[in-house]
Structure 1
Amino acid sequence: MATHVHLVSHEGVYQEIEARQHRLTADEPLNNHGTDRGPAPYELLLASLAACSSATLRLYADRKGWTLGTITADLTFSRDKDGNEKIERVIGFSEKLTEEQMGRIRDIIEKTPVTKTLKRGTPITTRFE
C-alpha cells in the first residue's frame, strides 16, 4: 500500500494540499506567523489519528455486530518544558458497551494503523529536486 499527497506553498506558511481528488489546506494560527486559513500541521496529525481510530473501531464493531452509536474522539498534542511529546486520545461512544466489549476495543485501538505508525516511529527519507 502506498499513499501520496502533493503540497504547494506560494508564500508564508499557508499550504495547499491534494490527496487523491480532495483538496485540503494547512496553516498556522495568527499568533504563530500564519493566516489561520486552515488547521495547523499538528492538528492535521491529530485529525489523521482520530479518523483512523474511529474508522477502525467502527469496522471492527460492525464485523462483530456491535452497536457503538456515535463515536467521538478528542485528541490533544502536548510538549513539556523538556521537549517530551505526548498525544492524549479520549474516545466516546453514545451506546453502552459491555466490559468484555470495552476490553476488545482497548486492544483494537492500540492496533489501528496510524497508531502503530506513530508509536513505532516511521523512518523518513528526504531528497531535493
Structure 2
Amino acid sequence: MTVTVNTVSAEGFRHSVQIDDHELFADVPTTAGGEGSAPEPHDYFDAALGACKALTLKLYAKKKDIPLTGVGVEVKRDNSLEQKGQYALHVKLTLKGVLTDAQREELHRVADRCPIHKLMTTSEISIETHLSEGAFSQ
C-alpha cells in the first residue's frame, strides 16, 4: 500500500491524498493561512485511531457473537503541549446493542488493543525521507 500526496494548486495549501482507489484531501486551517477546505493532517491521525477502534470492535463482536449493532467513537485532541512532546487524545466510546455489563467491559478493553492504538502507544516508528529524481523540477 502506498499513499501519494500531491499539491492541488501552486497558490494554496490543499493537497490530494491518494490511498489505493480512494482520494482524500488535506488542507490547513484558515488560521494558518489555508482555506480550511479539508481536514488537516492531525485530523487524519486522530481519525485513524477512532476508525480503528470502531472497526476492531465490530470485527471482535462478530467473531465472539456479541450483539453489538453499532459503535460511536468521539476523539478529542489536546495538542496544547505538542511542542513539548505531549499529544493527548481523549476517546469516548458509545456501544450500541443489547449488551451485558460484562460484554461492555470486554469491548472497552478490546478497543484499547486496536492496531492503531498499539502503534501510537507502543511502537518505535522510523521515518526516512528521500528526494526523488525530479525533486527540483517545475
> 1:91 offset after TM fit, Å?
0.9
TM-score with structure 2 setting the length:
0.83
Q: Deviations over 1:74-116 (max 9, x none)?
A: 1012123573211111110222422221222122112111111
Q: Secondary structure in 2 aligned to 1:58?
A: helix
Q: Which protein has the larger Cα radius of gyration, Structure 1 or Structure 2? A: 2
Alpha carbons 2:14, 2:37 under 8 Å: kept = yes
Percent of pairs identical after alignment? Answer: 22
The TM-score with structure 1 as length reference comes to 0.88
User: 1:31-83 CA deviation, whole Å, 9 max, x = no partner?
Assistant: 12111111111111111111111011000001111122221111012123573
RMSD: 1.7
Asked if structure 2 preserves the Cα contact closer than 8 Å seen for 1:42 and 1:77, the reply is: no
Report what 1:33 is aligned to.
33
SS for the counterpart of 1:90 is: strand
User: Aligned letter for 1:36?
Assistant: G
Distance 1:47 1:80 in 2: 18
Number of equivalenced pairs: 127
Q: 2:96 matched to 1:99?
A: no
Shift of residue 20 of structure 1?
0.4
Aligned residue type for 1:105 = L
One-letter identity of the residue aligned with 1:70: G
One-letter code of the match for 2:24?
L
